Structure 1
Amino acid sequence: MKQSKLAASAIVGLISLSLAACGSGGESGGKAEQVVFKLAVSQPQEHPQYQAGLELGKRLEEATDDRYSVQVYGNETLGTSAEVIQNLSNGTVDFAWIGGANVESLNQDFVVYNLPFVFDSREAQLAVLNDDELNTELFTSLEDSKSITVLGGANAGQRSIYNAIRPIRTPDDLKGLKIRVQQSDSQVRMLQLLGGIPSPMSFGEVYSALQTGVLDGAENNEPSYNAMKHDEVAKYYSYTRHLMIPDFLLMSTQTLDKMDETDRDALLAIIPDITQKASDDFVPYVNESIERSKALGAQFNDDVDTAAFKARVAPMVEEYMGANDLRAKYYEATQQANQDNPA
């Protein structure tokens, strides 16, 4: 946040505390009513990001003497990702876990972290996401234009392709298949290069589209495949492992600025533990999801020519990461992290 915002927020906090001190009285001591923030998640209650949201509420209550808490809304209860982003911007939603491709639509420089095959390992991705010095400019880049602050990023597994027609082993196997992708230009371009027909669509609409044949398949991680019951209508899950897109914890900058400085600092101090929890809990959640899908008859195949898929998208990666010096810097950081944290 800009220094002027911090100063203004601190003044507001001091005035509020003064008014509270003058107006408090009675046997109750005049304790202010707890402020409960809304946190939106597109995933169900069992998902690590939902559970991390609950932990955020618990930790925030402890750190602020119950002045603040968090209520988590799952399964797109507060709207699609696009709708939630708009509500974050206008301050009617306070927090949200949002996929990197959707954040990219707000600032194209986020694309580097969403490129196919850009991260070799979970550890490499987390090393980059947790580098505050590297990401400060990027994570605060939406504050003036959208009134959204990026608090941090979490690992959301690797994404592969699943469909109702056949196993996917080479790019040729994707020919003619309509595959749902996230609503971003880079994801559309990626799927075209991989050999399929990209169909951008809200996550909550995918099941019915698969069921009715509007879609042949989608690309996502194993927990989403199982939790959203896509394994009921698309039995072939093929380990292309083409993406390791982070999910970001976003906050309304309006909400953040309304907090007094002490409580705001307490919140920000909690965030690294929350994003780490979401990342760590994702690992066992993947294994549990695979077993549940297998019990429903889903077939997982790992005999995929990953090198062929990677070669298809190499020109796209080079084009996107070379668009400006900032993207080149982020891409260089991903490649260094890959060397330091090999798969």
Structure 2
Amino acid sequence: MKFQFYNEPMTDLNSKKKNRNSLSIFSKPVFLILVCLALFSTCKGPGGVRVIKLGHGLGVTHPVHEAMVFMAEKVAEKSNGQMQIRIYPNQQLGTERELVELLQIGSLGMTKVSSATMESFAPRMQVLSMPYLFEDDAHRDKVLKGEIGKQLLLDAEDFWLRGLCYYDAGKRSFYTKNKPIENPSDLKGLKIRVMESNTAINMVKSFGGSPTPVSYGELYTALQQGIVDGAENNPPSLYTSKHYEVCKFYSINEHTAVPDVLIVSTKVWELLDENEKIWLQEAADESAIYQYKLWAESVEESYRELKKAGVTILYPEVAGFREATESMYEEFKLTQPNLFEIVDQIRKIE
């Protein structure tokens, strides 16, 4: 059984977000969203069909969106059509932070966020944003699929958020408008877009840059207008967002491998019966396996297309970047010993 994702025009939220520090769930744009959604994140319609709304900020060609489409199809298949997921892409329902807040009050069922965004709700998850934390992909996978990863997914339940699975968000590197980044000193004085993450902010500071939080949906305009000089992200996001039209230098220093997290409102989760919970969790797990495959293919395609578009791709020496971030670990050890203990456990996993 096929499902639909919704891409109809919605209220233009971006034009109203004058103050990025004002993220109240009772702001006018979000209030309008609540009205539009009629305060139903999940409901049972005709014939007892359970419908869950999922909003996110990515485009429909992004591999994470495609994985969520796959998940929705699996949910419909497993439930014999008795459970459906409706997907609202392209930041139609708000920024990542706003979508999380909508989940907290039960006005939206599910969303995809970066684990960096989850730091405000599950503080222990900030360890996943630490630079050069993982030795390689195999090490990362062991952590996320192991006991530490499973515990972190449930850390935000006290804040009405439950993690279902991780999606591969690749490795993040710097892309810039006017000059390439070949060593940390090249970032000095540059305004670099970061997610709303203290760890990301501290990382850019450690390189000498000026971290500037900007919503992903507003970043293209921010680059065009010179609000920021560059950003940091993975190859598929650089390509699918078309930020390469503005930024022609991509420096592959791969400073972090911050995963995405598929989350569900606990207010919605608790409404599901046992079969519905099993269908949703199984479909999420299967979509993660599918997404990892899509991601690898997308990375290869993205590099090809970025080169065709005239982007200069550089491979700077990583040692200098790694060394510059060691101060973050030292501070972490002193100021947050409990979190540093998790970092230490991660580093010991072989």
User: Fold-level match, TM-score > 0.5?
Assistant: yes
Name the structure 2 match of 1:327: 339
2:237 to 218, 224, 229: 224
Q: Deviations over 1:234-253 (max 9, x none)?
A: 10001111111011111111
- Asked if the contact 1:38/1:95 (under 8 Å) is kept, the reply is yes
Report the CA distance between 1:323 and its aligned residue. 5.0
User: How many angstroms apart in 2 are the aligned matches of 1:261 and 1:141?
Assistant: 21
| 2:197 pairs with 1:184 | yes
Report the CA distance between 1:324 and its aligned residue. 5.0
Name the structure 1 match of 2:348: 336
Name the structure 1 match of 2:13: none
1:77 to 92, 95, 112: 92
Name the structure 1 match of 2:41: none
Alignment of 1:113-124 (within 5 A): 113-124=128-139
TM-score (norm 2): 0.83
User: When you count helix as a share of all residues, which structure comes out higher?
Assistant: 1
Name the structure 1 match of 2:184: 171
Structure 2 counterpart SS, 1:45? coil
| 2:155 pairs with 1:141 | yes
2:52 to 37, 41, 45: 37
4+ residue segments displaced more than 3 Å: 321-326
2:298 to 285, 302, 326: 285
User: How many angstroms apart in 2 are the aligned matches of 1:33 and 1:320?
Assistant: 50
Name the structure 2 match of 1:205: 218
Structure 1 counterpart SS, 2:134? coil
Q: For residue 123 of structure 1, what is the amino acid of its counterpart?
A: A
- Asked if the contact 1:126/1:154 (under 8 Å) is kept, the reply is no
Report the CA distance between 1:296 and its aligned residue. 1.6
Structure with higher Rg: it is: 1
Report the CA distance between 1:216 and its aligned residue. 0.6
Q: What's the C-alpha RMSD, in Å, of the aligned pairs?
A: 1.9
- Asked if the contact 1:60/1:69 (under 8 Å) is kept, the reply is yes
Q: 1:217 to 1:60 in 2, by over 3 A?
A: same
| 2:323 pairs with 1:308 | no
Bigger drift between 194-203 and 316-325 goes to 316-325
Q: 1:37 to 1:100 in 2, by over 3 A?
A: same
TM-score (norm 1): 0.85
- Asked if the contact 1:40/1:95 (under 8 Å) is kept, the reply is yes
Name the structure 1 match of 2:310: 297
| Structure 2 stretches lacking a partner, 5+ long | 1-43
Q: For residue 63 of structure 1, what is the amino acid of its counterpart?
A: K
Q: 1:313 to 1:72 in 2, by over 3 A?
A: same
Structure 1 counterpart SS, 2:182? coil
| 2:277 pairs with 1:264 | yes
Name the structure 1 match of 2:110: 95
Q: For residue 178 of structure 1, what is the amino acid of its counterpart?
A: K
Q: Deviations over 1:178-207 (max 9, x none)?
A: 110111111111101112111111111111
Q: Deviations over 1:314-339 (max 9, x none)?
A: 120233366556524432342234xx
- Asked if the contact 2:116/2:128 (under 8 Å) is kept, the reply is no
Name the structure 2 match of 1:237: 250
| Structure 1 stretches lacking a partner, 5+ long | 1-19, 21-29
Report the CA distance between 1:63 and its aligned residue. 1.6
Q: 1:64 to 1:323 in 2, by over 3 A?
A: farther
- Asked if the contact 1:179/1:219 (under 8 Å) is kept, the reply is yes
Report the CA distance between 1:140 and its aligned residue. 2.0
Q: Deviations over 1:124-161 (max 9, x none)?
A: 21211111x334443222222x2110112122111000
Name the structure 2 match of 1:127: 142
Report the CA distance between 1:115 and its aligned residue. 0.4
Report the CA distance between 1:77 and its aligned residue. 1.4
Structure 2 counterpart SS, 1:258? coil
- Asked if the contact 1:48/1:278 (under 8 Å) is kept, the reply is yes
Name the structure 2 match of 1:110: 125
User: How many angstroms apart in 1 are the aligned matches of 2:91 and 2:61?
Assistant: 14
Name the structure 1 match of 2:30: none
- Asked if the contact 2:72/2:283 (under 8 Å) is kept, the reply is no
Report the CA distance between 1:33 and its aligned residue. 3.6
Report the CA distance between 1:233 and its aligned residue. 0.5
